[in-house]
Amino acid sequence: MRRIEALVDALAKLYGGLSDPLSDAYKLRNPIMLKAFNPKHERDDKGYRRFKHLVAGYENAILDVKIKCSGRSRSHLQPVDPLWKLVCLYGNPRAATRTVVKFLRHALNDDTIPEDVTLSYFIEGEIDARSSN
């Protein structure tokens, strides 16, 4: 499993985006509750993006997280930043990082992932995979 996908899954779990049909994330098909910044994007009354299907929401989530982890977003995150900064950027309390890390340890079968893991961990290999194509 790709680390970036495991991270998106962990964030989606916080919102119930893949498993709770009563959650806003599930209803909007927006697993990590991305905000709509482009006026062309369909949105709900709170400004969250609404996707036509889950695949579109999930692919946009992966792209958004990948951009943020690589330091290429307007959020000013950098690859050397700890995971908690990303968790908080998506509107969660810092304490939610513990839940995300626990999920990641299980999903990636790696009990050594530290709670202060840096964002670069999630994009390692992504760049190498693109350049070898």
Tens digits of residue pLDDT in 101-118: 999 999 999 999 999 999
pLDDT at 97: 98
CA angle 106, 111, 114 (to 5 degrees): 110
pLDDT confidence bin for 124, thresholds 50/70/90: confident
76 Cβ contact partners less than 8 Å away, ≥ 6 residues apart: none
Distance CA 118, CA 95 (A): 16
Is 69 within 8 Å of 122 (Cβ atoms)?
yes
pLDDT in tens, 9-42: 999 999 999 999 999 999 999 999 999 999 999 9
Q: How confident is the model at residue 1, as a pLDDT?
A: 86
pLDDT of residue 130: 40
Residue linked to tokens 């999920």: 103
